[in-house]
Structure 1
Amino acid sequence: MVLPFTHEPFTDFTKKENRKAFEDALEQVKGEFGKDYNLVIGGERIATKKKNQSINPSNKEQVIGTVSQADTELVEKAFQSAKEAFKTWSQWDPKVRAEILFRAAAIVRRRKHEFSATMVYEAGKPWGQADADTAEGIDFMEYYGRQMIELSEGKEINDRPGENNEYIYQPTGVGVTIPPWNFAFAIVCGTTIAPIVAGNTVLQKPAEDTPIIAAKLVEVLEEAGLPKGVLNFVPGDPSEIGDYLVDHPTTKFVNFTGSRATGTRIYEKAAKVQEGQKHLKHVVVEMGGKDTIIVDKDSDLDLAADSIVNSAFGFQGQKCSACSRAVIHEDVYDEVLEKSIELTKKLSVGDPVNDTFMGPVINQKQFDKITGYIDIGKEEGELKFGGESESSKGYFIHPTIFADLDSKAKIMQEEIFGPVVGFTKAKDFDHMLDIANDTDYGLTGAVISNNREHLNRARKEFNVGNLYFNRGCTAAIVGYHPFGGFKMSGTDAKAGGPDYLQNFLQAKTVSEQL
């Protein structure tokens, strides 16, 4: 009997024993610095001459590890390995496939602090954010395993006299997973194990900035009993192997999370039928957001400020769900702005090893992009707090608040993916909704209000995939808040929800005349 799904609890770091355990894990991971990580193709570990160094964004001189890089010849070998493994893996009892995920979840749970500590170093994640990331990965394994067991029964359809009908699901084949660096374990895990538990085989190309935590996931799945060739670990330069992965005629699906530019390119390329391809590729893309918190005049203003600050600056604003726009009713605008500034002043910025609220942004490219937007913001609005940055040792940017922005301003329209939030006034609720919906994206949003009529209007009129009332717009939990957005935020696949696995399954009707 499989117990009902329950969310993996977060670690309480106010307890001395938990802090000590995490500090020990940080030392353990530090002791592994400089280790080499190889490709995994058909269960074989392959070292290559071309390497990628994983760098600590808090300390650019610190190399976390070195990862071999695949070329197209090795990717081709991975495709052939995945094709061969699919022949048997697709025939496994779905319940037995699910049991591998449950065992993997138990292994990660026992090594939870190690995985979180790895992300503190490799992704610059503060303790609490890293702990939540690991917990989410565990949740994905537990949840998708249960979902597959349920789907293995098929769905009930109607019979007629003298006719027996079945509606069943079967796996699609070999697919490609391309996860991001920001949820370095959770999204890597979820986007990889969902198609696998559905009976498919996968080539995973991890993010260049965070390949080591992805390599640890591969190790865990092997330990849990995943057969050789089901998951092939092929890190590499996207300019060298990216198109090859997407274009390959064997590819049945592409599961991508990342930038809009890359996501739309994958979507376009996957639509082309290649020579030898006998199917249409299914594409799941999650491409980002420009997320808004609306604050009504009839609302808890302390809650509003807390929601804005935590949603804007958690993990340095490097979440596709992060609040980057605060749309405030003009009657309470000044008060909410002031409360938000006061809360932001209390946030600590520094090396997350030391349990700061904010750490570094991920790399030089992102640092330059974000500081560039800060410069733009100084021209478009009033810098009320922050704006400082420092990159001599690591990529640190302080939480930044701009006020009195026009809703059409660049920093109110374009995804920044950093610790920058813009405030703008609205004259009434209609005006708030107009501003909130006036963006290319539609991922998350929140409404802080005690007006039930306005909340009910927002249910239908606030055009986002994940809408939250009287709380922040980040921190979706698997099984509670299925995640995915509208418009240019992606295909709204709703990760961590009851429909997600069907992206990697084919529905089949079997009808027998009796």
Structure 2
Amino acid sequence: MIPYGPEPFTDFSNLKEAQALDAAIAQARQESGANIPLVIGGERIMTEKKTKSINPSRKAEIVGHISKADQAQAEQAMQSAYATFKTWSKVPPESRAGLLFKAAAILRRRKHEFSAWLMIEAGKTRGEADADTAEAIDFMEYYGRQMINMAKRSNDLLVPYPSEVNRLEYIPLGVGIVIPPWNFPLAIMVGMTTASIVAGNTVVLKPASTTPVIAYKFFEILEDAGMPAGVVNYLPGSGAEIGDFLVTHKLTRYIAFTGSRDVGLRIHELSAKVSDGQMWLKRYIGEMGGKDSIIVDKDADLEAAAQGIVASAFGFSGQKCSACSRAIIHKDVYDQVLTRAVELTNQLKIGDVTDHSNFTGPVVDEFAYNKILEFIEIGKGEGRLMTGGNAPMADLGYYIEPTIFADVDPQARIMQEEIFGPVLAFTKANEFGHALEIANNTEYGLTGSVYTRNRMHIERAREEFHVGNLYFNRKCTGAIVGVHPFGGFNMSGTDSKAGGPDYLLQFTQLKLSSEKL
């Protein structure tokens, strides 16, 4: 088998690549506005009730008209997945992995096409979109190899015993409900879905309501790769109408969710309740956000720190669970880092992501737009506004300026609550131990970063900074599959470590058989 290595990012300084992406954007625009069906057991179903997917850069532009499932169709999807599980679970792991490798090859050939859809439907810049697409490819390549390795190594886990033949197998769970987020609408959706099916499960995929077209386009890739009907059932719909129904269904074996803390906690609670006829304890695989800090020590490379803070805070308008929203700076270098971060932020261009000179685009939709603007107003009472705070081009799209507040109390709302937008709060630490105390004072524990040249401080942070992904002298965003397994502590979720060697264990169960000779 060809060794796995992370998918390289596209070099857009290459004119050929840049022109190919522009052509893909133009083609996606021509295809926008199509009617998107449900897909249950391989059957396309158009419904009367539909929702609209909107381009956040140009909110008058409709990306797609999306069929909405009701509970009857949700039941149909569950029955389809349950029936298909009986055959799909018997397919050898190598064959299931082959489906992922084929889908990865198709996506690699169509990389610019999918990046174009990410730009139009999710508002990603070309660099962010290209990274999202690359990560989706990485997940398939990585999980395919992990499944093959798990199948081969399972018996090596056993201690030999005289006069018996013992066999240990990773077997699939059953029907999974996959509920991906809108902020990585290709990568995370692909990761959760393909981890499920390569392990032998079947899936009801409920795509994010703001980015359903991208999910449908990937579903078509799975079909092109040879996925049997019913292995994945594509089921857009409202959480109120079908979300709780799917989570509490007696045939649901597990729920894989990435999204907000409040929704994640509700799903966790509902999944723990046993429904009539349910024969198992449901598993919950959850990633629920963060309130992430970058600490800058007094002896750090201050330019690198300022660059890392700005990139982590404002890439994709701060709409990442790993984004830096708290900068904790040693008092001796506070003014220098703050001043430089403001200078760098003022250089950022905001606008339509199809203009490649723009660093950041819009936030995803009207709900997010209004929520972030409310937090900016709160921030004005909790700190000193240094830059940003405005919403330019409101008639065109959901644009909000990258915003920095200084001198914010560690217990202030903008230091404690997840904003999920381009809002960054600076606070001062008296010494390194104080900085760690501030970094750990939220209910989240996803990512963090420390800039320091002090080796003892690095080791202390490694021990005391309580996050699932901790980085030193680099930004706190940008985890790479297989290199930085991703997932967090506390209210950030179940520390599922997507893209890591243990991830597929959550989609399988171990069965032992023992034969006496």
Shift of 1:67: 1.1
1:480 aligns with 483
CA distance in 2, matches of 1:467, 1:97: 33
SS in structure 2 of the partner of residue 64 of structure 1: strand
Q: Which residue of 1 aligns with 2:14?
A: 15
Residue equivalent to 2:190: 189
How well do the aligned residues superpose, as a CA RMSD in angstroms? Answer: 0.7
Contact residue 123 and residue 362 of structure 1 kept, 8 A:
yes
Using the aligned pairs only, state the percent identity: 59
Return the alpha-carbon distance in structure 1 between the equivalents of residues 515 and 441 of structure 2.
Answer: 52
Which of 417, 421, 424 matches 1:418?
421
| Structure 2 counterpart of 1:136 | 135
Specify the alignment match of 1:165 in structure 2. Answer: 166
Letter in 1 for 2:27: Q
Q: Deviations for 1:446-476, whole angstroms, at most 9, x for unmatched residues?
A: 0001101000011110000000010000000
2:405 maps to 1:402? yes
Structure 1 residue 260 corresponds to structure 2 residue 261: yes
Seen in structure 2, the aligned counterparts of structure 1 residues 155 and 305 have a Cα distance that, compared at 3 Å, is: farther
* Aligned partner of 1:372 among 366, 370, 374: 374
2 CA distance for matches of 1:17 and 1:347? 26
Q: Give the counterpart letter for 1:405 in structure 2.
A: V
Q: Structure 1: which amino acid aligns with 2:106?
A: I
- Aligned 8 A contact 1:384 1:403 in 2: yes
Deviations along 1:422-461, whole A, 9 cap, x unmatched?
0001011110000000000000000001101000011110
Describe the SS at the equivalent of 1:371: helix
Following TM superposition, by how much is the alpha carbon of 1:167 offset from its aligned partner in structure 2, in angstroms? 2.1
Instruction: Normalising by structure 1, report the TM-score.
Output: 0.99
Q: 1:290–1:323: 8 Å Cα contact kept in structure 2?
A: yes
Matches within 5 A, 1:102-251: 102-153=101-152, 154-156=154-156, 157-251=158-252
Tell me, in whole angstroms, the C-alpha distance in 1 between the residues paired with 2:35 and 2:8. 32
| 1:90 corresponding residue in structure 2 | 89
Q: Which residue of 2 aligns with 1:41?
A: 40
CA contact (8 A) 1:181 1:209 kept: yes
1:442 to 445, 459, 468: 445
Partner of 2:346: 345
Structure-1 separation of matches of 2:155 and 2:504: 14
Residue identity opposite 1:20 in structure 2: Q
Instruction: Give the whole-Å Cα distance in 1 for the aligned partners of 2:83 and 2:185.
Output: 29
2:460 corresponding residue in structure 1: 457
Deviation at 1:418, TM superposition (A): 0.2
- AA in 1 matched with 2:332: D
In 1, the alpha carbon distance for the partners of 2:475 and 2:175 equals 38
Could you tell me how far apart the structure 2 residues matched to 1:201 and 1:116 are?
A: 27
Aligned residue identity for 1:467 = L
Contact 1:296 1:447 in 2 (8 A): yes
Counterpart-to-counterpart distance in 1, 2:13 and 2:305: 25
- Partner in structure 2 of residue 389 of structure 1: 391
**C-alpha distance in structure 1 between counterparts of 2:366 and 2:259, whole Å:** 17
Amino acid at match of 1:496: G
Structure 1 residue 164 displacement after superposition? 2.4
- Structure 2: unaligned runs, 5 residues or longer: none
Query: Which amino acid in the other structure matches residue 80 of structure 1?
Result: Q
Partner-residue secondary structure (3-state), 2:237 = coil
TM-score after normalising by structure 2: 0.98
- TM superposition shift of 1:155: 4.4
Q: Deviation string for 1:252-309 (max 9, x for gaps)? A: 0000000100000000000001000000000011000000000001110011001100
Superposition deviation, residue 25 in structure 1 = 0.6
Measure, in 1, the Cα distance between the counterparts of 2:151 and 2:42: 27
Contact 1:248 1:274 in 2 (8 A): yes
Is the 1:158–1:165 Cα contact (8 Å) retained in structure 2? no
- In the TM superposition, residue 163 of structure 1 has moved relative to its aligned partner by 2.0
Match of 1:141, as an amino acid?
M
Instruction: Provide the secondary structure at the position in 2 that maps to 1:348.
Output: coil
